[in-house]
Amino acid sequence: MKAQRASLWFLGTVFLLSAVHARGLRRCLIAMDMRHIGESFQQIKGTIQAKDTFPNVTILSTSGTLHSIKPLDVCCVTKNLLAFYVDRVFKDHQELSPQILRKISSIANSFLYMQKVLQQCQEQRLCHCGQEAANATRIIHDNYNQLEVRSAALKSLGELDVFLAWIDKNHQGTPAA
């Protein structure tokens, strides 16, 4: 009986902590206009994905990497993936078309702003980074390293919709600013 009660208390606490941390991410992204980022990507998606020479390989979606992320790890993984795109993907990608470059720049600068917002959350201890979050991030970096850098950057760019949809899903239900 006592063991059952203790289990229930433990589960309840875990659930409460998960909810608080999940809310943490949502609170962190309150002021973001995600729709604009999605629209910018949709305008270049076809062109980018058409240049992908390794259609059977994925960088973000290995074994449902993102979808297996627990609510507690969402903030940390989001922060890590934003850094992945800002520090590696956008830098490694060579774009000659001014129109596409403009859209990529818009997305890159929006990600910079999101990083700043999440940085504030981390300072308020709302963005905990655990082992599972680190593992998921490492898998994505390993996938990226297995390809030639230009191809890897192009593929990662083409999978932005996966990342944006994942952010949107974890961001759902947040009241408007």
Partner 1 sequence: MFQVKLSLPNTDPHEDSRRNLDKSYHVAFLHLDSMFAHREYESLYMSHIWIPSSRCSPTTVPECDVTDDITATVPYNLRVRAILGSQTSAWSILKPPFNRNSTILTPPGMEVTKDGFHLVVKLEDLGPQFEFLVAYWRREPGAKEHVKIVRSRGVPVHLETMEPAAVYCVKAQTFVKAIGRHSTFSQAECVKVQEETLPLALALFAFVGFMLILVVVPLSIWKTGRLLRYSCCPVVVLPDTLKITNSPQKLISCRREDVEACATTVLSSEELFRT
- List contacts with partner 1 (CB under 8 A): 31, 33, 36, 40, 86-87, 90-91, 98, 101-102, 105-106, 108-110, 112-113, 176-177
Nearer to partner 1 by C-beta: 101 or 139?
Answer: 101
Least separation in angstroms between residue 23's CB and partner 1 is 19
Select from 31, 38, 33, 28 the least CA-distant residue to 78.
Answer: 28
Q: Of the two residues 5 and 116, which places its CB atom closer to partner 1 in the complex?
A: 116
CA gap 38, 19 in Å, rounded: 26
Q: What is the nearest approach in angstroms of partner 1 to the Cβ of residue 175?
A: 12
Each residue of 132-164: b (16+ CB within 10 Å) or e? ebeebbeebeebbeebeeebbbbbbbbbbebbb
Q: How far is the CB of 93 from partner 1 (least distance, A)?
A: 10
Q: What are phi and psi of 80, to 5 degrees?
A: -65, -40
CA 132 – CA 161 distance, rounded (Å): 23
Nearer to partner 1, 43 or 49 (CB): 43
Q: How far is the CB of 154 from partner 1 (least distance, A)?
A: 17
Residue among 48 and 66 whose Cβ is closer to partner 1:
48
Residue corresponding to tokens 């970096």 = 141
